[in-house]
Amino acid sequence: MFKGSNVALVTPFKNNKLDEETYIKLIHFHIENGTNGLVPAGTTGESPTLSHDEHEKVIELCVRESKGKLPVFAGTGSNSTEEAISLTSHAEKIGANGALIVTPYYNKPTQEGLYQHYKAINDKCGIPIIIYNIPGRSVIDMSVETMARLFELKNIIGVKDATGDLDRVNQTLNKLGKDFLQLTGNDDNALEFNMRGGSGSISVTANIAPKLCSDFQKFSKSKNDNELTQAKKLNEILQPLHHAMFVESNPSPVKYAAKLLKLCDDDVRLPLVKVTEPTKEIIKKALSSAKLI
């Protein structure tokens, strides 16, 4: 249900308010351009600076506008277990297909704390849950052993792995088996990730290159030699884009790229700021090399 190229949707703003009209257009842009799944209100969607009402609204819009054409895994994580339960319950109520729940940031829980956090959410909710393991932002790293314990629960189905450690794919596959869904959160390692047993990505780059990312994901899982060759070619085309999206803090670069493509404005909320002039040139060059501008 949730494989291939899944976009970590940006949240467009106008005068520091949620730009609903543009957000709806973005959703349909992805429906029309091959994206396999939608992830609203995640890191790329600037969830830390969305109000609670805005957070719920972007998920509602995503579910409503996709009309079942694409699965929606809503970003409902928090460093407060009660808030994560509230957001996940809301996502379930309005019809989201699942939830992407980040490991609690700042609190620095132990592995047992991580387990109890996800178990509490699992016990209160009834939709599939993907663990979002991103030590670079959360400080903590969920172990494969803790994920194995969580996989025994009814709703835990997989992980978005943003550790950057490709050996984790093998370790997780060996410990949890092929039924545990593994998605990469690092666009730049998606080819090797899939070749080791991954099932796709939750992608920043897909915001601006949905067709390229979707085709790449499809070909990268093929058993056909010609399609695998095509996946490698697309990977080479995409690498400059992947790099450019992280020259400065995400999502400032991808929002600037989206502005160049007339998809949305590049407004971000403090403490994030718009990208610098040198970064703008890097982004323009990457878009040009991929023939997007």
Catalytic site includes residue 124: no
Q: For 176-204, what is the mean pLDDT?
A: 97
Q: CA-to-CA distance for 251 and 273, rounded, in angstroms?
A: 10
pLDDT digits (tens, 9 = 90+) for 29-73: 999 999 999 999 999 999 999 999 999 999 999 999 999 999 999
What's the pLDDT band for 217 if we cut at 50, 70, 90? very high
Fold of 4-223: TIM Barrel (3.20.20)
Question: For the chain, what are the domain ranges?
Answer: 4-223
pLDDT at 60: 98
Catalytic residue among 3, 57, 118, 160: 160
How far, CA to CA in Å, does 44 sit from each of 154, 178, 179? 28, 28, 27
- Residues 6+ positions from 98 with CB-CB distance below 8 Å: 1, 2, 71, 72, 73, 74, 127, 128, 129, 130, 157
Nearest to 147 by CA among 137, 139, 159, 155: 159
Q: In degrees, to the nearest 5, what angle opens at C-alpha 202 toward C-alphas 70 and 135? A: 145
Please give the mean pLDDT across all residues of the chain. 97
pLDDT digits (tens, 9 = 90+) for 272-283: 999 999 999 999
Provide the edge-to-edge strand list for the sheet that holds 37-39.
37-39, 4-8, 200-203, 181-184, 156-161, 129-133, 98-102, 73-75
pLDDT at 182: 98
pLDDT digits (tens, 9 = 90+) for 63-105: 999 999 999 999 999 999 999 999 999 999 999 999 999 999 9
Check pLDDT > 90 for residue 1.
Answer: no
Cis? peptide before 109, omega within 30° of 0: no
pLDDT at 275: 98
Nearest to 101 by CA among 147, 62, 35: 147
Q: CA-to-CA distance for 272 and 293, rounded, in angstroms?
A: 26
Catalytic residue among 23, 115, 118, 132: 132
Query: Dihedral, CA atoms, 109, 110, 111, 114, nearest 10 degrees?
Result: -20
pLDDT at 2: 86
Q: For 187-203, what is the mean pLDDT?
A: 97
Beta bridge partners of 75: 100
User: Does pTM surpass 0.85?
Assistant: yes
Rounded to 5 degrees, φ, ψ at 115 are -60, -50
Q: Tokens in use for 119?
A: 């178990």
Catalytic site includes residue 132: yes
Q: CA-to-CA distance for 73 and 66, rounded, in angstroms?
A: 12
pLDDT at 28: 98
Q: For 5-12, what is the mean pLDDT?
A: 98
